[in-house]
Amino acid sequence: MTSITDPKISERFTAAMEEIQNKKFKTYGEIIDTTAELGQSHRQFVKSALDTCLKKCKDDEMLFETIQTFKRDLKQKNASLKEKQHAISDLMSEIEQKEMQKDDIIQKIEKLKEEQAKRKELIVSQHKANKDRLRNLQKARLVFQDNLGMEIRTIIGKTQSIKGEQLQFIFRHINPLDQDSAYVVTMGIKEDGSYQIVSSDPVLECLPVLESRLQETNNLPAFLANVRKEFVSLARC
């Protein structure tokens, strides 16, 4: 061990202290450099992280706006879809109503066809019946007009039940005291083709019975013969 009395001890101590101080300065310098590098690296990291966060925020804002746009579009599409569904529902209801109307019209057409066919049958039947009545009238005219002095006239009916042409059967040679005295029965044909007695002059009480028998038998000559008999009986009273 060097003696403290060594005259060079102070120099060596000073040198050692300087060496230690230099090492510390070197170490401090290295620490400062390292700290500066770390600070620079930290600033760059922070700046990079901040840029990343800003970019992320911007991307998130764009994504949020995109989501909001999608929501608005979806809402509009849903509203449009509901309107179309309502329109489709209304259209289906209208189609169902038209189908019901179509079926109703078809039924009415079929009913009209049936009625027309029945009406045609009725017209044919009435035409045949009218031809038969015309033959009966012709027979009655031959029997009564030529042999018994009966006259047949056509008049226009004005009653509520029978309108149009009516027939008047005018009997003469009834009253022995007055051969030219007229006894009249007036009749017409209803819409269904049946005979209807309108009146008689003079009035015959039994005329409804004779009319009912005429409806049953459709024998006009027999009816006129019975009417003439009743007029003859009435004239003798």
Range(s) of the domain holding residue 148: 140-236
pLDDT computed for residue 133 by the predictor? 66
Residue 42 lies in a domain: no
pLDDT computed for residue 32 by the predictor? 81
Residue 120 lies in a domain: no
Residue 146 lies in a domain: yes
Residues of the chain with pLDDT under 50: 1-2
Residue 228 lies in a domain: yes
Residue 160 lies in a domain: yes
Number of independent structural domains in the chain: 1
Residue 156 lies in a domain: yes
Gyration radius (Cα) of the chain, Å: 66
Average pLDDT across the chain, whole number:
80
CB 198 within 8 A of CB 188: yes
What CATH number does residue 175 fall under?
Answer: 3.30.457.50
Per-residue pLDDT tens over the stretch 142-193: 666 666 668 888 887 655 555 567 889 999 888 888 888 999 999 888 777 7
Residue 105 lies in a domain: no
Question: Which tokens is 132 given?
Answer: 């038969």
Residue 79 lies in a domain: no
Contacts 24+ apart (CB under 8 A), 124-132: 125/193, 126/192, 126/193, 129/193, 129/218, 130/189, 130/193, 132/218
